[in-house]
Amino acid sequence: MSAPGTSYRFAGYRIDAVSRELRAPDGTSIPVTAKSLDVLLHLIEHRDRVVGKDELLAAVWPRRVVEENNLTQAISALRHAFGTAAGDHRYIVTVPGRGYRFVAALEATVAHTADGQAPSQSPQGNAASTTGLHIPRRAVRWGALAAITVALGVAAISALEVHSSGTASQASTAAAQSTLAILPFRPVDTAVAADRDPMLGLGMADTLITRLSHATSLRVLSLATVQVYAGKPTDPVRDGKMLGANFVVDGSTQQRGNSIRINARLLAMPDGRTVWAGTFDATPDQVFVAQDALAEAVSAALSHKYAARGFHSPCDGDDIQAYRADLRGRYLFNRPDPQRLVQALAAYREATRRDPKCARAWAGIAMVRRAQVIIADHDPRVEIPLANAAIERALAANPQSAQAYVAKGFDQFWYGWNWPAAEATLRHALALDPNLPEANYAMAHLLDNLGRHREAIKYAHAAAALDPLAPAYNALAARFVDDGGFATEARQRLDEVLKLEPDFWLALLFHGEMTFANGDQATGLRELERATELSGRNSQTLSRLAVAYARSGRRGGAVRILEELEARSRTSYVPPTTLAMIQVALGNRDSAFDMLERAYAQHDIGMAFLGLWFPTLQGDPRYVALMQRMHLTARSASSSIAQRVAGDPQPRPIRD
């Protein structure tokens, strides 16, 4: 066994056991989970033979009973990192029934000096790298939820390197930055249990995330990612490693009567070294003051390289109830269905009633109203003007609100059909806050609609990496990846989302369509039917279920759904584009084009998806004319899933 400071190079890649980093040939860091790195190091150490699966499980997950799937995911993450597929044997060979073997030729072995710096290197042949490598073992306890969370983040960042080319965008840069995880603050036992505030610890973390996410070079994990640790015994070093963080803020709160004591410390990973620690005392109405002081102290401790800008949200006022209402609205909006959107809107309204300067909440109102159009079948001619009014209030309160510009860009995209203006607005939002998950997701959505799939994938991966536990971001990232032709990754991503959120209707909808398109029509239909019920039978899921019914020979089922939606349209709003989809599936092209003309006149937001939702109409002069009126080009046409479900005889190639 060689010294722990050994590093290896192969095919331009470098793995460093001191910093525990894997670097690409261009020198950029490729984030991988600790366990994936341990698997790679063990395979390199024993590269002279096939390493059995049982040996790998015992070496990487010592003294634990784990499923073989953990190892499979680790190998898959490594292949993503190297830009290879399962059948590509340049680096790791799968030996059926036996295990795995590392087969890449090692270029050099580099030993680090005591100060952590690598000495000058000279080219060496493979003979110079015959010594094994000591692998630091860490008994990290992985819960199923945390493992899936990290897998989503790793897949997002690794695939960004695989599928992207050209200069790095803000989105890809955000995904590769040093990472800060702020864990929910733990309540310390109080003399009187009733004195505890269950929202205080989560609120402390959320405020620090908001403050420090505006750091010049740190990627701060979202509240949705870290809130899984709320209310549970934590080990900040273990949790920080699982989250792939470079720094962790760990803290506790203690309430006694009208006094709150806040203890916090900043830890450097992977050893958990304390960089800074402090204690703050406050009364409940002074919590925001203490949070400001804590954020400034942490920023200073991170040095000028990571120093946060002086950002203060208008929501951080004197009324703590306004802050909590905004927090509640964001939580509900992140898992949207018709009922939760109503609750989210009420929460945001409460926040703005208590604090009219709360720009985040005004932007949240705009986002909810837009979402209600597609999720709850609200009339866009009613909701979008109300959304625009909320955006104006948000920008009046804070002209630099990235959330407000995301909402504005979405409305220009979905309702205004002004593609250049939408892109400019969303790029401005990203310039204001490149670490904002919804800004990266919105840009991915727009670019995907415009047929710029490789660009879209970069932003989709960044959004998913910034918020790995957000089911909507990850489900839609799967759709964008599939539109780019990477069906295998799309399936894997949807599988991971459904492990976390088995009843999330949007992921079920996409998964059902994909399963149906891949030939398992019975399972696909069951998933589509379940998604339809979980969505409240909204027109989006009903129309896609009807298309699948028609394609599987169950024409009667498709007709019944069409009749249900037509009856509903006589008393409430139903997007004409959803009716057009069913008419196309039933072979009624003339009726479909009548519906599309109605959709154009009503500013149905589905028209923004004209190129993606109607692949079988390509070549029809009426379709070409509509695309021209929408200022959409031919490259914005066709979605991989939509083509395969609709039975397009010439689907785009799948690049797995």
Architecture of the structural domain at 6-139 = Orthogonal Bundle (1.10)
Cβ 471 vs Cβ 449: under 8 Å = no
What is the rounded distance in angstroms from the CA atom of residue 315 to the CA atom of residue 322? 7
Give the residues across from 263 on adjacent strands. Answer: 252, 279
pLDDT at 546 over 60: yes
Instruction: Say yes or no: domain 510-656 is CATH 1.10.287.
Output: no
Q: Which class for 311: exposed (0-12), middle (13-18), buried (19 or more C-beta within 10 A)?
A: middle
pLDDT band of residue 362 (cuts 50, 70, 90) is very high
- Residue 248 main-chain phi, psi, to 5 deg: -135, 135
CA 279 to chain centre: 34
Two structure tokens written together for 518: 């891949």
Q: Which amino acid is at 347?
A: A
Best-predicted range by mean pLDDT (2-6, 163-167, 454-458) = 454-458
Best-predicted range by mean pLDDT (316-330, 486-500, 561-575) = 561-575
Least confident window among 53-57, 187-191, 612-616: 187-191
- In 257-400 the beta strands, taken as DSSP E runs, fall at 259-268, 273-282
Who's near 385: CB < 8 A, 6+ residues apart? Answer: none
pLDDT tens digits, 370-423: 999 999 999 999 999 999 999 999 988 888 889 999 999 999 999 999 999 999
Cβ 283 vs Cβ 259: under 8 Å = yes
Mean pLDDT of all residues belonging to the chain: 77
Least confident window among 124-128, 180-184, 456-460: 124-128
Identify the H or E element spanning 51.
Answer: strand 51-52
What is the rounded distance in angstroms from the CA atom of residue 93 to the CA atom of residue 90? 8
What is the rounded distance in angstroms from the CA atom of residue 242 to the CA atom of residue 228? 12
pLDDT at position 641 is 57
The SS3 assignment for 578 reads helix
pLDDT at position 234 is 73
The SS3 assignment for 106 reads strand
Taking alpha carbons only, the member of 281, 293, 188, 284 closest to residue 234 is 188
Who's near 474: CB < 8 A, 6+ residues apart? Answer: 152, 156, 464, 468, 493, 496, 497, 507
Give the residue extent of every domain in the chain: 6-139, 178-313, 510-656
Taking alpha carbons only, the member of 437, 390, 20 closest to residue 209 is 437
pLDDT band of residue 108 (cuts 50, 70, 90) is very low
- In 133-271 the beta strands, taken as DSSP E runs, fall at 178-182, 186-187, 218-220, 247-256, 259-268
Who's near 204: CB < 8 A, 6+ residues apart? Answer: 184, 185, 251, 253, 262, 287, 291, 294
Q: Which class for 199: exposed (0-12), middle (13-18), buried (19 or more C-beta within 10 A)?
A: middle
pLDDT at position 284 is 66
pLDDT band of residue 146 (cuts 50, 70, 90) is very low
pLDDT at position 318 is 55
The reply to whether domains 6-139 and 510-656 share a CATH topology is no
pLDDT, mean of residues 60-80:
76
pLDDT at position 174 is 38
Sheet of 92-95: strands edge to edge? Answer: 51-52, 99-102, 92-95
Scanning the structure block, which residue is given the tokens 């939702």? 613
Cβ 8 vs Cβ 106: under 8 Å = yes
Least confident window among 281-290, 368-377, 439-448: 281-290
pLDDT at position 636 is 59
What is the rounded distance in angstroms from the CA atom of residue 569 to the CA atom of residue 601? 16
State the CB neighbour count (10 A cutoff) for residue 522. Answer: 10
Least confident window among 10-24, 293-307, 354-368, 529-543: 293-307
What is the rounded distance in angstroms from the CA atom of residue 255 to the CA atom of residue 193? 9
Identify the H or E element spanning 616.
Answer: none
Give the residues across from 84 on adjacent strands. Answer: none
pLDDT at position 109 is 47
pLDDT, mean of residues 288-304:
64
Pairing state of beta strands 247-256 and 92-95? unpaired
pLDDT tens digits, 169-215: 333 333 345 788 888 887 775 444 434 455 566 777 777 777 676 54
- Of the two residues 299 and 364, the one the predictor is more confident about is 364
State the CB neighbour count (10 A cutoff) for residue 523. Answer: 14
DSSP per position, 348-401: HHHHHHH-TT-HHHHHHHHHHHHHHHHHS---HHHHHHHHHHHHHHHHHH-TT-
Who's near 210: CB < 8 A, 6+ residues apart? Answer: 311, 313
Pairing state of beta strands 92-95 and 99-102? antiparallel
What is the rounded distance in angstroms from the CA atom of residue 352 to the CA atom of residue 356? 5
Cis peptide before 270 (omega within 30 of 0): yes
pLDDT, mean of residues 639-654:
50
pLDDT at position 530 is 96
DSSP per position, 263-287: EEEEEETTTTEEEEEEEEEE-GGGH
- Residue 205 main-chain phi, psi, to 5 deg: -60, -45
**Rg of the chain taking only CA atoms, in angstroms:** 26
Best-predicted range by mean pLDDT (94-98, 248-252, 418-422) = 418-422
pLDDT at position 645 is 60
Return the CATH number of the domain spanning residue range 178-313.
3.40.50.10070
Q: Which amino acid is at 541?
A: T
Who's near 111: CB < 8 A, 6+ residues apart? Answer: 2, 3, 5, 6, 7, 118, 119
pLDDT band of residue 498 (cuts 50, 70, 90) is very high
pLDDT, mean of residues 76-83:
79
Q: How far is CA 101 from CA 46, 136, 381, 565, in A?
A: 8, 20, 60, 56
Two structure tokens written together for 500: 């976390």
pLDDT at 550 over 90: yes
- Straight-line distance from the first to the last Cα atom of the chain, in angstroms, rounded to the nearest whole number: 38
pLDDT at position 224 is 67
